[in-house]
Structure formats: structure tokens, C-alpha cells
Structure 1
Amino acid sequence: MTIRLDQVLGAERAAALIRHTADELTRQDHLDPRTALHLACERLADGDPLLLAHPGQTWLLRDDVDIDDAPARRLAVHARLTCPPRVLVSDADQPEEIDELLIEVLDLYEITAWATELAAQQGEQR
């Protein structure tokens, strides 16, 4: 199962996120705008957690990953931290306990939900 970003955010918000990510890549990494747009589209379409992970999201374990290799079937993201990139998450079905994980753990998952009000705020803040 592959979830498309427009299915999670809606077409308009997904397009805004792609544009914003491309603008950030252009500004921060001094990339040509066309190259930045291509990279943003490609990496966001692949569900790259380094570009996507933010509070208010739910991530579902990929079908090809064994549950024994993951902290939970569904993760809720509560915060994003830096140096190194990490996330504060909980089991979406048992949110009492929050864990800190390296962001790479989200490579085992795919995004399935993103609180729309938080997505709008994060698009503006990025």
C-alpha cells in the first residue's frame, strides 16, 4: 500500500508543501529552482521522513516490514527535534508513553494522516 501525499493533505496543501520544500531547497542548498522542484517532488512522493516528519502526523508500518522490527504498528508524531534529526512519537493506539526515536525509523512507515490545521501552520513556518 502506498499513500500519496495528496490523499493525506488534499491536492492544494500537497502542492503548497511541494512548492515550499522546493523553495527551501533552493534557498538553503543553493540549488537551481528546477532541480529543487524535481528533488522536492521525488523525495516527498517517496515519503522521505527527513522532509515530511512533523507533529500531528500518523505513520503506518509498511506492509513489507515485520512488526518485530518496529516500535509499533502505527506511530503518532508529537514533536520533531534536531541534531541529530529525531521525533517524539507514541503508539497511535496507546498514546500514553512517548518515545524519542531517530527520524530514520520512519523509513519503516508511510504517512497516513496529518492534522490539517497543523499541516497548514507547518507549511507557513518551514
Structure 2
Amino acid sequence: MSMLAFLEEQIGGQALGDHLTAAVNDLTEREQITRAEAYQRITELADAGDPAVIAATRQTWVRRADVDPEEAPVRRLYVLERTDTGVFVAYVDIDAAADSEDDGYACALPDKDLELNDHSEGAEFGVDLLELYELEDWEPFEFLLPTVGALDNEGERKS
């Protein structure tokens, strides 16, 4: 399965199209190239799994199998926010059961990074950090939207 097919499966064609179009708009502004060139470049980069193109809020990334755990001590990262300069990630270190209570005792993080073990605020890193990881899951925003035409207690549409 290609990366584009995986992304479409994760968030749907419309959301993926919107995401890629935003990247195209940014690229055409930065590099003054045609939209056709920008679409081709962005599509190729997205299909190759380039984090600079595909990284977004509500994604879970897992450390690639070929990456040394000492280079990337946390197995899973959750993207809390994508910014212009990088990503805010929360460490989701399920394997080591790390949390804000353990002060790193069971955490796989090196001592110098223990202060980054904050699951509520996250830590800011450059998008290039995600090159050590691969996209595992992407929760689309439409799951956060309220139900249209909510039902009352009897199962009837509210007016």
C-alpha cells in the first residue's frame, strides 16, 4: 500500500486533499513555482512519507525498526500541535509505562530529557525528529465535531 493510500484510509480523501492543498499553497508562496509543480512535488513527498509534508496534529508516530533506541529512546510520539517551526509532541511511551508521576524511574528517556516527559503540554521539536519515526495513526478532526441534528432522550431529532 502506498503512503498516499494509507493517508487516505486514515483521514479520508477530502481531509487529505485539504492537507496537501495547504502544503501546496505554502510551497507556491515560498518558492514562487507553479501550482502544478507544487502539487507534483508535494504529492511525491507525501507518498514518500516525508514528515515535513505529512506531519499534523492528532497523529501517532512509532519509532522505525531500523532506528537505534538510543537515538530515539521513546517508541511512540503523539503530535499535539503542528507549528510553523516544528511540532509539539507528547511522549507516548506505552512500553515503559512512563507518566508524569514516575520521575523517569520506569521511563526510557535519558536523564537529560526527563523534563520533557510532560503528557499535557508536550515538548517542541523540529519536524526532522519525525524522520526517526513512521506514521502509525492519524485521528481526523471530524470525530471531534458535534453530531448534526442531535437526538433527544426518546431518539427523536431535536428541533
Rounded Cα–Cα distance in structure 2 between residues aligned with 1:2 and 1:49: 15
**Alpha-carbon deviation of 1:95?**
6.1
Query: 4+ residue runs of structure 1 moved beyond 6 angstroms?
Result: none
Which structure's residues are more often helix, by fraction?
Answer: 1
- The aligned counterpart of 1:102 is 126
Letter in 1 for 2:51: P
| Unpaired runs of at least 5, structure 1 | 121-126
Aligned match for 2:27, one of 25, 28, 31: 25
- The aligned counterpart of 2:139 is 115
Rounded Cα–Cα distance in structure 2 between residues aligned with 1:52 and 1:95: 27
Rounded Cα–Cα distance in structure 1 between residues aligned with 2:73 and 2:2: 20
**Alpha-carbon deviation of 1:107?**
0.5
Where in structure 2 are the equivalents of 1:32-111 lying within 5 Å? 32-82=34-84, 85-92=85-92, 93=94, 94=98, 96=100, 97=118, 98-111=122-135
Say what the alpha-carbon RMSD is for the aligned residues: 2.8
Rounded Cα–Cα distance in structure 2 between residues aligned with 1:35 and 1:104: 23
Are the structure 2 counterparts of residues 116 and 105 from structure 1 closer, same or farther at C-alpha, using a change threshold of 3 Å? same
**Alpha-carbon deviation of 1:77?**
1.1
Does the CA contact (< 8 Å) of 1:55 and 1:118 recur in 2? no
For 1:48-90, what per-residue CA distance to the aligned partner results, in whole angstroms no more than 9, with x for missing partners?
A: 22222222111111122122210311101112344xx232212
For these two proteins, the number of residue pairs brought into alignment is 118
For 1:12-46, what per-residue CA distance to the aligned partner results, in whole angstroms no more than 9, with x for missing partners?
A: 32233223322332234221121101111011112
The normalised TM-score by structure 1 is: 0.74
- The aligned counterpart of 2:113 is none
Letter in 2 for 1:105: L
Letter in 2 for 1:113: D
Which structure's residues are more often strand, by fraction?
Answer: 1
Are the structure 2 counterparts of residues 119 and 34 from structure 1 closer, same or farther at C-alpha, using a change threshold of 3 Å? farther
In structure 2, the residue corresponding to 1:90 is in which secondary structure?
Answer: strand
**Alpha-carbon deviation of 1:118?**
7.2
Are the structure 2 counterparts of residues 47 and 95 from structure 1 closer, same or farther at C-alpha, using a change threshold of 3 Å? farther
